[in-house]
Structure 1
């Protein structure tokens, strides 16, 4: 099995869950070799270089894929999908969903996602950015689904994996927090604070939001 891993803090609880799971050791090692940003995992899944990943939600709707009820969800704010105020328009090449969301919301400026965005938010302050999930929530009253667990093979296996992950919160060990704090240059307390804004279970409201997002994207010419 070839699983693609988004190497961002927003999926840290899932990474910890995988580490503790009963997956075979060679499968766990292969996950570390298939880590990348969402946009590149989108392409890897299309090319059958991996058989599953949490990919950009806007790219998960292809007929050959099975989309599961787990993903990266912001209930209101997200803190890591931002548009910098008073800046030139610039897409973030790492995320198709975030770029489309900025377009749908008619927010001009530089789109920044992931750990780089979170660090910028913590360094520069919230007054310097538009939080795209927050604006979506204010307009729709709905959470926003940035990524979805999507597979092209082994659907039953990944469905079971997702179900077990979303059953209960995952506690992150201090040593892993320390590792991520050092590599991301973000304080451990801030990582814990940030993860409170992220959820993973996709239920009725999330499905409704996802469908609305795709409809608005199609209205702007996205072929999905």
Structure 2
């Protein structure tokens, strides 16, 4: 089974979970060597080079979805629009589309790079948090990524359910590792992860449908094989 994973801090709890989850060693070997940014995983998923993974929500419109996702209820910290010209982030399809739906101009930045920028500009706040702007407008969380599958649907639904039901704490030695890799302080990492949720309940479903409606109305091109 070929699983692709977003290589960002927002899936740190999933990293901890999957190490202990009972599955084939080949599955864990593949996931450890197959990490990338969302837009890249979108293509690999759509071309079926991977069987499953966390992909951009805009790329999962027609995909088989589990009940796990990357969700923010308000501020997300890691998806921002910098008030400095207009520029999309090549790493994300959903965040670029979200900025269009919200009619927000700026340089779109996502992931750990956005988190670093936000933490370094807390006084001169020259950015807009897109998760917060969506919440202000709709009073709903925003779903940035979805755990989708092309194959082995029963397996991934079971995995998703197990992940959602766990209260995962990240050990200090793992936090130290992330701090060394990202140069983001571990206390900031812990605070950031409090803004990230994973279970797709009723409100995220409503929000996702509202986002998809916005995508259709603004005629945004959805990622596809062709």
TM-score scaled by length of structure 2: 0.95
Does 2:226 align with 1:215? no
Aligned to 1:58: 58
Q: Give the corresponding residue for 1:159.
A: 157
Please give the secondary structure, in 2, of the residue aligned with 1:178.
Answer: helix
Provide the residue aligned with 1:175 in structure 2.
173
Distance, in Å, in 1 between the alignment partners of 2:121 and 2:160 is 35
Aligned residues: 221
Aligned counterparts of 2:25 and 2:187: Cα–Cα separation in 1: 31
Match of 1:97 among 84, 94, 97: 94
Please tell me whether residue 106 in structure 1 is matched to residue 99 in structure 2. Answer: no
Give runs of aligned pairs for residues 63-142 of structure 1, distance below 5 A.
65-85=63-83, 87-125=84-122, 127-142=125-140
**3-state SS, counterpart of residue 95 of structure 1:** coil
Deviation, structure 1 residue 223: 5.0
Structure 2 runs not aligned, ≥5 long? none
Indicate the residue corresponding to 1:25 in structure 2.
Answer: 25
Alignment root-mean-square deviation, CA: 1.0
Moved over 2 A (4+): none
Q: Alignment partner of 2:49: what SS? A: coil
Q: Secondary structure at the match of 1:48?
A: coil
Unpaired stretches in structure 1, ≥5 consecutive residues: none
SS of residue matched to 1:122: helix
TM-score by length of 1: 0.96
Instruction: Provide the C-alpha distance between the structure 2 equivalents of 1:90 and 1:223, rounded to a whole number of angstroms.
Output: 17
